Chains A and B, each alone.
Chain A
């Protein structure tokens, strides 16, 4: 039977190598001609690849799907992925197979290194389209420069902003009366209360964000972070950060020998009473979790003096998407004041808007004013300054260093 294997293998190889015929590239819709986009979008099915780990967000996407169906005749299918990086892999695979149209992904929820990877490889729908969307003028590019520069990478209109993120900490006031409001105080707290603080294990996104927060507040010259890593001075640049972590780790949960794998697991540790302090990238997350019965109502938010890391998240359309017009319609709908206000409601999701509230009509302003931000949430004026995301190369190098130093025992 083994001898039959050789022809079989040859056949399969031949099939994989020869059959691939480059198909013609689909017509790219032009958002400047919006009626034509709406026309083309009607009846299309948009496969929206988005992280599916948070039921509240999934429910919001369901709502958006029902709306675009009713308003524009576009069917939205939420493909729940556990990591946006899998979607990048998917698009790369299609490129490798010569599938330059009719791709599986029509719209993807993305930012940071995933966006940088797709942009660099030329795998996004171009030319830039986001700034030609009808709702683009509502976006607040002055207060939120992050909607134009994603981890220092110019978006060039290749992705459309959806929401904002800012690192906020949370503590259980039943156990902690006055939370530590600086990195030094945090280390001090950990030393006095061993096992009551931890962070998700890098390269998990939130874990890496904590590293960047420490780096931004310990590096001698923070200006360096807006440029790519300089290999010559990298070791010296991160030395204060490593000194901080070296001192912190012995006092972490499980003595730093194990780490929660994501921010949801971190929040669960807080709920279980294993730790006293956790953090999130969503200022309303704690309130929303309290409302959903996932955290005790004694949890409160706080931020660090000197500011915390903030960024924006986006939706992007792959170069080979099947329903490009439909994807444009969905991206534009996600910027509707009604959709953005609903998204900011902690009872729904609690994700901050990217719109400039001052520019909105009174009726839409009222939608935002009516929101109850929740018991644990800090008012916007108390959220503190935003520390911009460092250039994506810092994150890559930090993750390597972390894996080497703390991730392999």
Chain B
């Protein structure tokens, strides 16, 4: 069984991507007989290049994606370095589940509700401080440099990276390493960066790549907060893919390949940056300097972390208020009356959509978790780490923009006769859920000290017993976190649910996006709230799991 797990995992994860990409690459070079393209040519790329503002779109995708990734990474790392073990850190950790549970679209809406010229912040300040009785004509949402969008992406990626850091920290022995560094006279952050980061970074490197790939190809956040004249590449791609002029499919396919290259290029730049940092870091360590700007780093990371979290939370409060608002006009600081009317009117729809959402997400998440554990356990028993060759494969579903291969995958499912079924939607979700579960689980798992297993083996325990009694408990926190993340990923899927399900399976997310086209803030708020509740429950359970399971195991609880 265990031997089959890696193959099954790869097939389920990569099969759809490869088949789907084939269905994208061919039209990108002009081949798609159903649309009258029966010879190979470069015409789609010529057409793509002739699109107005393409260079700006590319620059926006690359710039916002890299800036958001770099910002989120820097904040998460410096914050951990400065405050690990402290009260601020514990407070952030307590906030992590709610923050992670917020889908990107909901977070973006919250931010838009907050910082727009007609948003909550301006309402709170008007007219007594600003003198404005009508919203000022300021270009904040959709600014040409994508700053709002970058901020929105950062606000969501910081908690994600912090979660990854938290999941990996127990394996780095960070507190003792820091004590040693402090004993040697290193300042807090400098010591952590020198002693802990080199051990931590390899474990969070893949999540960082996933963040870069996501941020450079994001659609929903870009639609809500990003510029539109022109929009980032991925947004335009979706538009071309859905253009009623079917010939645009060729251009869109070519654009999908360019998007693929762009995301890969962004990661390439990051890897180059890694090299540079490593060189500089080594030089610094050799220089023996024991602090550099520690106080500035600590203060600015605290401000950034606090500011982003506060903005995200205030946005969520604005969403909550809107879901209970009857009428809330500018410049009223608060809605005149709060009412349950919106909730009551849509409770039936919300419940039905939540049921469909969970009917997809729960089996998919469990399948992904079992497969990931089976792969990892098999690897451990064989005593070989496949990581260097398998790792790149894991990124594939995370780097390839969804729209690039979903179209082709849909054709495959149709020919197999299982399109539109819940099973098909589940298979499509698995493509995205598996890598996240694997990414969240694999590094903490591989970092488990193998000597525990050796000792248990020497004491006569069977391999199965070692798995259930030793390794799984050690990995319980990581496994629970991975499952919660998987569930959140599944709940948030829009395009796969819509395209593969033929629109027949109305989840919270497909309903929310459809309604967001209507621009009714109360309804958006209602669905955004529901969209948050499901993953929020999952993360809460995951956070509680170790404490409940390890009531009797002091050390596991402490490291957890």
Using a CB–CB cutoff of 8 Å, the interface residues on chain A facing chain B are 1-2, 4-5, 8-9, 11-13, 15-16, 19-20, 47, 49, 51-55, 77, 79-86, 88-90, 92-99, 104-105, 113-114, 116-117, 121, 194-195, 201, 203, 253-255, 257-259, 261-262, 264-265, 267-269, 271-274, 293-294, 296, 396, 403-404, 406-409
Contacts and interface: CB of A to CB of B under 8 A. Distances in A.
Given A2-B389, A253-B137, A273-B134, A93 B407 contact: yes
A408 B52 contact: yes
B134 A274 contact: yes
Contact of A271 (B246, B329, B389): B329
Interface in B112-132: 117-118
A63 to B, nearest CB: 14
A86 B238 CA distance: 10
Given A15-B415, A274-B135, A257 B34 contact: no
Contacts of A83: 242, 517
Nearest to A276: B134
Interface stretch (B9-17, B69-77, B263-271): B9-17
A13 B239 CA distance: 27
Contact of B117 (A9, A95, A267, A274): A274
A409 B229 contact: yes
B223 A261 contact: yes
A293 B118 contact: no
B153 to A, nearest CB: 19
Given A258-B228, A407-B229, A80 B56 contact: no
Contacts of B14: 5, 8
B7 interface: yes
A195 B34 CA distance: 47
Nearest to B33: A96
A53 B518 CA distance: 4
Given A274-B137, A407-B53, A259 B228 contact: yes
Residue of A104, A114, A194, A262 with most chain B CB atoms under a 10 A cut-off? A104
Nearest to A266: B519
12 contacts: A1-B393, A2-B389, A11-B15, A81-B498, A82-B516, A88-B244, A88-B246, A98-B414, A201-B228, A258-B228, A274-B118, A274-B137
B535 interface: no
Contacts of A4: 7, 10
B37 to A, nearest CB: 11
A191 to B, nearest CB: 14
B511 A80 contact: yes
Interface in B200-254: 223, 227-230, 239, 241-246, 249
Contacts of B118: 269, 272-274
A13 B19 contact: yes
Contact of B514 (A11, A81, A262, A271): A81
Contact of A16 (B22, B143, B386): B22
Nearest to A196: B137
B467 to A, nearest CB: 22
A55 B520 CA distance: 9
A272 B259 CA distance: 37
Interface stretch (B297-305, B426-434, B501-509, B539-547): B501-509
Given A16-B23, A272-B330, A273-B134, A53 B419 contact: no
Contacts of A121: 246
Contacts of B228: 201, 258-259, 261, 407
B458 interface: no
A53 B517 contact: yes
Contact of B504 (A1, A47, A271): A47
Contacts of B390: 1
Nearest to B510: A80
Contact of B503 (A11, A49, A92, A262): A49
A302 to B, nearest CB: 21
Contacts of B138: 254
Contacts of B34: 92, 95-96
A12 B22 contact: yes
Nearest to B345: A55
B504 A53 contact: no
